[in-house]
Structure formats: structure tokens, C-alpha cells
Amino acid sequence: MLAEEEWKARAAAHQARVDALVGAHLERRRAGRGHPVHDFLFTYYSHKPSHLRRWHPGVGVTLQGAAPHKDWSGYVEGPDGVRVGPRLVRRRRGTVEWVRELLAATAARPAHTGCFGLHEWAMVYRTRPGDVRHEAYQLRLGHAGTDAVVEAHQLRCSHFDAFRFFTADARPRNALTPTRELQPALEQPGCLHANMDLYRHAYKLTPLVPSELVADAFELAARIRELDMRASPYDLSGLGYEPVRIETTEGKRQYVERQRAFAAEAARLRDRLLTVIDGELLHP
């Protein structure tokens, strides 16, 4: 049970937090300006800022007083207050089970930290000017230099949603061939994209999980995305992102250090999601 004063305070704090996280994106969108780093959080991921801002208490929590949730899809009103209804939990069980399988399988594996963010390099391998996604930003080493870095390393990308954007010439150079079906078998906890995707898994379970957990996953994804693009072949120094030069020994050291730190953060967040799933969603 949450008294009206308590849940209103939590909802207001959540909304203020999200406003601070998405405000710059909304301002750029109104002005028609793109951003090569942070737009990813709103294009690759489909959760709208307005949906992220809406506060949900999660399954098993009843809101006392005049909760607007009574008019929201999936909620029911009873004599004690408003809560997420059991019908919604049953309807979403397939999604919950899939997410749990993936999270548990990922958590059970050791973290691999030898990829050095080369997935972004593989996405521009053997391209020419006009063929790259972020055309407004130069490649730090040019096209030939970028190709040389890819050819000097063994690609070992385990994440399907990164691998599927590899160029046709880069795919055969990867040690693995990720597919959507193989995702539970290949996902590993050192992968930046797997750890960013905790945000996707959390928001796909909305409103079954607390919104604070979804916001934590979004914030982590935003910080990981910055490393992802700092280690990319693009020169984003004009936007304030100094490169992590993974083509050098020192750059590799920097990348792995941050990758391991993010993996540790993501492990704690993954455990929190699994705790909610196991405690409230699969065994309410």
C-alpha cells in the first residue's frame, strides 16, 4: 500500500528526473537538429519520452487516494485503491518469460571484454563517402584507415542487433554469426549493447515494473552509449566527445576499463529486473 502523499512524491521525483534526462533531446527535436550519440536512445529504442516520464509503481503495489492510474490501461480499482490488474500480468506472461530467459542466460556467462567496440567500425568497413550513417561527421582515420583497423583485429561481436548493421564485407570477418533465435545462447554480460538493452527489457515490461527501475536502465544506457560512440571511428570531438582510440594500446586499456565498470553496473541492474520478475511477475 502506498499512501497518496507517498506515491505522489515518487511520481513527481520520477518526472523531474526524466525531464532532466530527455530535455535536451526534446529541445533538439523541436529545433529539427539531430545528435549522433543520443538520438539512438529514441530511435533504436521505441519508448517515447512521454511514456518514460509516466510513473508506474509496478505489480503488487496499491495506490491509495485519487490515483489517475485508474483510467490507465491494465489497472483496476478496488476497495483499497488502484493497482495493476492480474489480467494484464497474465497477458504479458510470454514477454516476461522471454525476457527472463535472456537475462538469466546472460547473467550466467562470464563477461567478454576483448571486442574493443569494433562493431561500429564494422558498420563502415569498406564503405565510401556518402555510405555511412553519420555522414556529417568525419571518420577519424578516413575510410582506408578505418578498414585497416578492422583488418588488423579479430571481430567477435555476439550481439545480433549490432551484427545486423555490419557491412556485407564485414560480416564474414566476425567469429560469430548472431541471429535473433541465438540471442539467449550468445548474449554475454560484457557487451555494451546487451547492457544498453536492459533499458529495452525494462520498458517492455512497463507497467509491470517500477518506473524508477526503467529510468535507472535508461540512464545507464545513455552513459554506455557515450562510450560506444567515443570508441567509434567517427570524430565527435566537436561535440565534446574525446575519442577512445581503440586502435592503440592505451585506447584499448581505457575501453576495457570502462567496459568492465559498465558490466558491473549492468549486472546489478539485471539482478534487480530478475528479482522483480521472479518475485512478482511469474509468482505473484
Q: What is the pLDDT of residues 180-234, one digit of tens each?
A: 999 999 999 999 999 999 999 999 999 999 999 999 999 999 999 999 999 999 9
Residue 129 or 161, more confident: 161
0.85 surpassed by pTM: yes
Q: What is the pLDDT of residues 251-262, one digit of tens each?
A: 999 999 999 999
| Burial degree of 213 (CB within 10 A; 0-12, 13-18, 19+) | buried
Query: Is the Cα dihedral 250, 252, 254, 257 positive or negative?
Result: negative
141-to-124, 126, 157, 200, 240 alpha-carbon distances in Å: 12, 13, 22, 33, 18
CA atoms within a 13 Å half-sphere pointing along the CA-CB vector of 60: 11
253-279 in b/e form (b: 16+ CB < 10 A) is ebbbebbeebbebbbebbebbeebbee
